[in-house]
Homo-oligomer: A and B are copies of this chain.
Amino acid sequence: MTELDFSHDPAARSWLASAQAPGADFPIQNLPFGVVRRRGSQEALRGAVAIGDQALDLAALHGRSVLTGDAAQALALAAQPALNAFMAAGPATWRALRHALFNALRDDAPPAVQQAVAGCLIPLTDVEHALPTRLGDYTDFYTSLHHAVNVGKLLFPDRPLTPNFQWLPIAYHGRASSVVVSGTDFHRPHGQAMPPGAAAPVYTPCTRLDYELEMGFFIGPGNAMGQPVKLDAAEQHIFGMCLLNDWSARDHQFWEMAPLGPFLGKNFCTSISPWIVTMDALVPYRVPFERPEGDPQPLAYLDGAANRAAGGVDVQLSVGIESAQHRAHGLPAAEVSRTSFHHQYWTIAQMLTQHTVGGCNLQAGDLCGTGTISGPTHAEAGAIVELSVGGTQPITLAGTGEQRTFLQDGDAVILSGWCEKPGAARIGFGSCRGTVLPALAD
């Protein structure tokens, strides 16, 4: 884990006023990366950094030669239409650019620098996003004990937790092609489901559509095939984190998934938030990785002092459902759960090391999901199948009073995330949003 440095100073202020607005997600201490262009345009996509209510267009900044040295070289990579090359360049490159952008945006930057940078800003309301990388592979982990028990009880009441859960971070390969950026809506999927008590399955639009509150992390420098990454080196291979919604068709999933895991129940759509918060920005929010007392300790290859001391990340998370009625009446989305990422049973370093232990090669720009994030109490559950106890106990949406067991057409699901504590700047992830459109006519 990186040390704290001047770029984490909570007292630092930007010459851009919106960066220090109360509750701002993107103060000068954050500087998350994404890929943008002007909304509705056919402009080339390019890298950008969020600051206050603006996107700093890195291609435009590259053209102005404000940065020099290592930072200028890093900027050339980060300005590209996808961030793979920048992610591949590694922590020193990421940090060189972070520090240079921090200095250029700080309120004591020379007026000429301020003016040049100001000319590269685009209001966030005027940008549209693309995926931050050309995605190679996407892997989804399963690292919340509470989620595993909640869902396990529905599927296997007599043995909710598989015996491997406490020994390794379970994962499966997901579908990369259907990972989309926040704001991309999707149609309710068709598929096969086996109705309770039926003799044969049916072909049907999903009747048990769900979201999953997750975080994602992007791979920095990859590893060669056959060359595992040790736990102590794992975080040097992680660029940053985002919010991730692993939309799930539970009726299709639960019918198809034995014995080889989820497939169509997941691969119709996976949404991520547009801005990737760097591991550098998260340094103030690292927390000890604590195993519940009496639980098995990780095997040696998944254990280490640094991971125990600060392997966790304390990110606050919230899920909102905004129904068509909410929109019609101008009401805010109803919050349906709130939790923290630090409850996960495995750290992102452990996930990365496990992924490579057999020699699997990760590539720069690959995406990993953490699995659903459910906290220890019912109100902290990260999926509606848990909140509604398998669809048996409807939840009520604040504002409209509507009831939900699963998602209905027109429902938008909005994930939000942020880090906040005394003595550190707030670091926000923005939001991840997607709306369920009706199933297409067959």
Residues of A participating in the B interface, judged by any CB pair closer than 8 Å:
136-137, 142, 152, 155-156, 162-164, 167-168, 170-178, 180, 186-187, 189-192, 194, 200-203, 206, 225-228, 249, 252, 255-265, 267-269, 296, 299-301, 354-355, 357-363, 366, 440
Contact = CB atoms under 8 A, between A and B. Distances in A.
B358 A260 contact: no
Contacts of A269: 225, 359
A173 B257 contact: no
Contacts of A259: 152, 155-156, 162, 170, 257, 261
A192 B168 CA distance: 8
B357 A264 contact: yes
Contacts of A189: 357-359
A296 B174 contact: no
Given A192-B299, A203-B300, A260-B142, A358 B175 contact: no
Contact of A163 (B174, B180, B194): B194
Contacts of A200: 167, 296
A358 B249 contact: yes
Contacts of A163: 194
Contacts of A186: 225-226, 359
10 contacts: A137-B137, A164-B255, A172-B172, A177-B361, A187-B226, A189-B359, A202-B299, A203-B357, A260-B261, A264-B355
A181 to B, nearest CB: 13
A231 to B, nearest CB: 12
Nearest to A205: B358
A360 B192 contact: no
Contact of A194 (B164, B176, B191, B263): B164
Nearest to A300: B203
The 6 closest A-B pairs by CB, nearest first: A261-B261, A189-B358, A173-B173, A172-B260, A268-B358, A260-B261
Given A187-B359, A259-B162, A176 B137 contact: yes
Most chain B CB inside 10 Å of its own CB: which residue of A206, A258, A296, A359: A359
A257 B261 CA distance: 8
A262 B264 contact: no
Contacts of A156: 259
Nearest to A170: B260
A363 B177 contact: yes
Most chain B CB inside 10 Å of its own CB: which residue of A152, A174, A262: A262
Given A177-B137, A201-B164, A261 B264 contact: no
B177 A175 contact: no
A163 B155 CA distance: 15
B256 A168 contact: yes
Contacts of A180: 225
A387 B201 CA distance: 33
B191 A268 contact: no
Contacts of A360: 175, 177-178, 264, 267-268
Contacts of A201: 164, 167-168, 299
Given A137-B175, A177-B363, A190-B228, A170 B268 contact: no
Nearest to A230: B442
Contacts of A168: 192, 201, 256
A164 B265 CA distance: 14
Given A200-B167, A296-B200, A162 B359 contact: no
A171 to B, nearest CB: 5
A255 B166 CA distance: 12
B176 A299 contact: no
